[in-house]
Structure 1
Amino acid sequence: MATLPEVHRTVVDGVPVFWVDTPGRRLTARLLFGVGLADETLLTTGISHVIEHLTMRQVGEHPYAANASVGTFVTEFEVSSSPEVVTEHLAKVCRSLAELDLEPLDVERSVIRVEERHRDRGANPVVAWPLSMRYGARGPGLIASPHIAPSRADPTEVADWCRQWFHRANAALVLTGPLPDGLRLPMPDGEPVRRAPPTPLDWSAPGWREIEGGVIVAMFGPRSVALTTGVHVLERRLTKLLRQKLGVVYELSTATTAIPENQLAIGLGSDVENGEVDRMSAAVLYALDALCADGPNAEELAFVRAGFAEDVGSDDFVLYAAYDEAAAWLRGEVSGSAEHVSLLAGDVEAAEVAAAMTAARSTLILGLAEGHRARSLPELPHSPVPEVRGTAFRRRAFAFPARGSRLVLGAEGVTFVAGKAGGPTVTIRFADVVGVSTEPGPEGDGDELLGLRSGAGDSIPIRARDWRGGQAVVDAVRAHVPASLFFPAPEALRFFDAEDQE
């Protein structure tokens, strides 16, 4: 019978170390810091990435396997080699963070911008869309945002961020073996991190809303073995139905993300052909409702348990077990160890799964490609913020917004209605503005376009010449929004592309 790996714990230089025994394998170390995109703001997105680049540049070339990355919740520096090499590499990383060399900042910012242009466009939508629906442009929702810090962060801001987050009180080490001789972690001291969880948006779910293409399901619920089991069963049922019976998908993508307050974000979907969107969405709702009503059968519960037992026997899971303990400790959250024990024991009843999935179903946001709708669900608004009352501005002829668009300026914010009646409506209150991008208009006439961006993840383009009396709206935005929130729009955030501006 499969058993969970034992995770040992000790301390080195004030840093907790979580290690597992993997005989016959090269030593792998992951130095984790409890900071990621979820700790940044719209204007500082990518600043941890800048620090990761500067640190690895300072560490220098190496013939062994080593890398670094920034995730939603954790930044990590990984190395695999002999114990002696691992010890030396970790010391270099710590010393580099303690005395970060900011001289090559401009070069590394340029490298990151090139990296952003050439990497796969955006995060996996099955992961990112549920997070952006729950949090907007704050916390974990920033996973879907282009990085702005590489274009604007100055040396002082980068140095301050490094001091705030990259220190021993916000670090943990994961090892695939006992501590090597002479291991030291010479990093600076710091204060333990205290963070308030971001407030979820209120969508009055369940409901559906339009997305760029395909079908995506977003649901949320308390992290539990019952909910995890339910997601596995739903994925299996839908794979049989959508691929093996209907033949409308090649692969069904599913993702579960542990989020603040011991919650789980669930994403499920496929970039299905437009002609199959309705059949897929109907199948998803049918399978989900059946699971909520009756729960899984005995064979399905046994299958989930057997699959998890297979995972537990892999080398990757052994490392994951220690990583999960370390990451949870850093974030002050609950690890998955208790859930893993229950999954392995099959300690869950069908009724518990049905109840967990029913609760998650009440949070359902179903994303459907343009032109499709879910008849059994209400359509959710484009924005969760109610419209403002105030002065309406009419669109000028040949303006950037579509015909029939209107703009309303109120004391507390701005509402934009795109196109004729029934078009998407977006409201941004001045108090919720997290950034205002600036870019030149396409005619090169100096009439700047402002991109008003909210914590809910919405944006409104505002250019004075597009509206009769529109300068009053521009003046109001500049009067109500601090100058520190204005920034030149990077390419990924521009409303006009380069060809428009020629």
Structure 2
Amino acid sequence: MRRTTIDGIPVHRIPSTGPLRFGLRFGCGVRDETYRTLGASQVVERLTAERAGAEAGAGLVTYGSLSDLDETRFYGSGAPEEVVRFLESVCRTLSDLPLDRLEHVAGILEIENTAPVDVRAAQALSARYGARALGLAGQRGPGHRALTADMVREHAATHFTRGNAVLLLSGPEPEGLRLPLPDGARPPRRAPRRLAGHVWAQRDTDGIALALDAPIGSAAARMGHCVLMERVDRLLRERLGISSHVDVVEVSRDALSVERILVLDAAGGKEAAVAAALWGEAVRMAQEPPLPGELMEYLTWLRRTWTEQPDPWARLQEASNPDLYGIPYLDDATALTQLGRVTPQEVREAMRAALEGALLVVPVGVHPSLTGLDGRRLEHTGVCEVWDTPFPPGEVFRRPLLARATDRGARGDRLVLTPHSVVHGRDDWYHEYRFDEVVELEQWGWDRTVVARCGCSMRLVRGSHTGDDRVRSALDRAVPSSRIRVRTAAR
């Protein structure tokens, strides 16, 4: 494995014969967008790949592109001279996007409606972080068609630069390769603030997810999470037959910490049982050290996999992460040595630390009975809803009299207007939408949709509450114009 630079861009290459395989990586994805610019990375990726593919012609063996939560990538393989032509076209296009194709590409992307990560993990991230950074994985935003040319151009100029790129190559040396990317530094990525931890929440999902964070270099945490996966798989799939698969989605919170999300499916009607078993096994690992044999089983499997089924391209990608994200890299031998030194007690301590901030997400309507680390009933949270607490003081607006007379659910429903927020709720709960935490106020004729930083939204429909004109006027006055979007398309 060799590391060089071309035009100031780090290049990691494995020399070999045959076609030249490449991957031009940019440290930019959904987490680097805002609620308003959601989808901008995908649009830049698709516009660029479309033009570069056309310019490369049919001679390139294969090429493609992707944009997910953390990264945008242009990849493929072919003869060295064809790869050189394709990569140079990608770099030139990023400085001069074909924005005349924006409407067409945005429409295609809205039809495809691809998610940046597993939808169960996306809902867990949204519940954990709200409508920002990693939490944007679970948000739809205004849509690709709402992106303007200026938004896309500015996003590309900020994130698709030589300071935020790295090139992977496997094969012969590409003679004369140039990477004419625009100048620019790597934008900082800070760890987003968690909204909740050591609780469970309901979300619009069809499976179960457990979000755990840990120091990115913690061998004990990695070992613990893998042992937990194995235990849960054996219990739920092999013994009980109520879940067919357990997987993990791993994302970096920042250069120092990682979020691992265990995701499971569940047999119909067994969601609460799957959630209880997953949480119960995690608590048991935080209270009792695993058996030495469990650690050795995972270590043996990992050593055999890396030895018998090596993946040089995956190692190449991991070796480039320090250049792209500032994440430390460990080669296989060093990683195995560190994992081999982990003790059962260290695993227990790491699992306890992770579980203290964990979030379990279940489908709406599922109410598992769970116990926390302190032995008490685990708290259920709407993440940002407040339960069994008096409403903040303010001007109260209730549903119209006819609605209250004919609809039992409307009787306790109310809006409260305070000097700094609109509060919506019923007798036993409420959600406060602070004006300074509104990320988007959509105006649909008279109607309004408020999107809060936590990721929740409230729709205000004319006639839904008495005096709702005053609430609408307060929102329009308080929310900055830069966060107001006038919508004219049909809902």
TM-score of Structure 1 vs Structure 2, range by shorter chain: 0.7 to 0.9
Question: Match of 1:231, SS?
Answer: helix
Q: Is 1:426 equivalent to 2:431 in the alignment?
A: yes
- Aligned partner of 1:29 in structure 2 is 22
Question: Match of 1:20, SS?
Answer: strand
Q: 1:207 aligns with which of 199, 206, 221?
A: 199
- Aligned partner of 1:409 in structure 2 is 417
When residues 463 and 336 of structure 1 are mapped into structure 2, their CA distance, relative to the original with a 3 A threshold, is farther
Q: Is 1:463 equivalent to 2:456 in the alignment?
A: no
- Aligned partner of 1:487 in structure 2 is 485
Within-5 A mapping of 1:379-398: 379-384=379-384, 388-396=392-400, 397-398=402-403
Residues 131 and 139 in structure 2, CA contact (< 8 A), matched pair in contact too: yes
Q: 2:292 aligns with which of 290, 298, 304?
A: 298
Q: Which moved more, 1:154-163 or 1:76-85?
A: 154-163
Ranges in structure 2 where 5+ consecutive residues have no aligned partner: 372-376
Q: Is 1:184 equivalent to 2:178 in the alignment?
A: yes
Residues 192 and 253 in structure 2, CA contact (< 8 A), matched pair in contact too: no
Q: CA offset at residue 450 of structure 1?
A: 1.4
Deviations 1:245-296 (A, max 9, x none): 1111121233222221422212223231353233223322332222222322
Deviations 1:418-472 (A, max 9, x none): xx5335x322211111112333xxxxxx5x3211111111111112411110111
Q: CA offset at residue 134 of structure 1?
A: 2.6
Distance 1:123 1:490 in 2: 30
Distance 2:301 2:437 in 1: 45
Q: Is 1:279 equivalent to 2:285 in the alignment?
A: no
Q: Is 1:251 equivalent to 2:245 in the alignment?
A: yes
Q: CA offset at residue 309 of structure 1?
A: 2.3
Distance 2:481 2:75 in 1: 39
Q: How many correspondences in the alignment?
A: 471
Question: Match of 1:306, SS?
Answer: helix
Q: Is 1:46 equivalent to 2:43 in the alignment?
A: no
Q: CA offset at residue 343 of structure 1?
A: 6.0
- Aligned partner of 1:452 in structure 2 is 450
- Aligned partner of 1:372 in structure 2 is 367
Distance 1:398 1:336 in 2: 63
Q: Is 1:159 equivalent to 2:176 in the alignment?
A: no
- Aligned partner of 2:90 in structure 1 is 93
Residues 28 and 81 in structure 1, CA contact (< 8 A), matched pair in contact too: yes
Deviations 1:162-196 (A, max 9, x none): 22222212211011235321221122222x13425
Q: State percent identity of aligned pairs.
A: 26
Distance 1:82 1:361 in 2: 50
Q: CA offset at residue 43 of structure 1?
A: 0.3
Q: CA offset at residue 363 of structure 1?
A: 1.2
When residues 72 and 368 of structure 1 are mapped into structure 2, their CA distance, relative to the original with a 3 A threshold, is closer
Distance 1:304 1:329 in 2: 30
Question: Match of 2:45, SS?
Answer: helix
Distance 2:311 2:104 in 1: 38
Q: CA offset at residue 53 of structure 1?
A: 1.5
Question: Match of 1:49, SS?
Answer: helix
Question: Match of 1:59, SS?
Answer: helix
Q: CA offset at residue 123 of structure 1?
A: 4.1
RMSD of aligned C-alpha atoms? 2.7
When residues 380 and 178 of structure 1 are mapped into structure 2, their CA distance, relative to the original with a 3 A threshold, is farther
- Aligned partner of 2:374 in structure 1 is none
Distance 1:340 1:233 in 2: 20
Letter in 1 for 2:223: T
- Aligned partner of 2:223 in structure 1 is 229
When residues 145 and 393 of structure 1 are mapped into structure 2, their CA distance, relative to the original with a 3 A threshold, is same
Question: Match of 2:209, SS?
Answer: strand
When residues 311 and 328 of structure 1 are mapped into structure 2, their CA distance, relative to the original with a 3 A threshold, is farther
Q: CA offset at residue 58 of structure 1?
A: 1.5
Residues 12 and 184 in structure 1, CA contact (< 8 A), matched pair in contact too: yes
Q: Is 1:353 equivalent to 2:351 in the alignment?
A: no
Residues 46 and 148 in structure 1, CA contact (< 8 A), matched pair in contact too: no
Distance 1:319 1:65 in 2: 17
Residues 223 and 339 in structure 2, CA contact (< 8 A), matched pair in contact too: no
Distance 2:415 2:358 in 1: 31
Query: Structure 2 length normalisation: TM-score?
Result: 0.88
Letter in 2 for 1:405: D
Distance 1:339 1:266 in 2: 23
Distance 2:317 2:164 in 1: 15
Residues 14 and 169 in structure 2, CA contact (< 8 A), matched pair in contact too: yes
- Aligned partner of 1:4 in structure 2 is none
When residues 489 and 207 of structure 1 are mapped into structure 2, their CA distance, relative to the original with a 3 A threshold, is farther
Q: 2:51 aligns with which of 55, 58, 65?
A: 58
Residues 30 and 173 in structure 1, CA contact (< 8 A), matched pair in contact too: yes
Distance 1:94 1:180 in 2: 16
Distance 1:69 1:455 in 2: 27
Residues 125 and 135 in structure 2, CA contact (< 8 A), matched pair in contact too: yes
Q: Is 1:112 equivalent to 2:123 in the alignment?
A: no
Residues 408 and 414 in structure 1, CA contact (< 8 A), matched pair in contact too: yes
When residues 94 and 373 of structure 1 are mapped into structure 2, their CA distance, relative to the original with a 3 A threshold, is same
Within-5 A mapping of 1:68-147: 68-116=65-113, 119=114, 123-147=117-141
Distance 2:431 2:191 in 1: 21
When residues 69 and 432 of structure 1 are mapped into structure 2, their CA distance, relative to the original with a 3 A threshold, is same
When residues 155 and 67 of structure 1 are mapped into structure 2, their CA distance, relative to the original with a 3 A threshold, is same
Residues 126 and 267 in structure 1, CA contact (< 8 A), matched pair in contact too: no
Ranges in structure 1 where 5+ consecutive residues have no aligned partner: 1-6, 440-445, 492-496
- Aligned partner of 1:494 in structure 2 is none
Query: Structure 1 length normalisation: TM-score?
Result: 0.86
- Aligned partner of 1:3 in structure 2 is none
Distance 1:81 1:388 in 2: 64
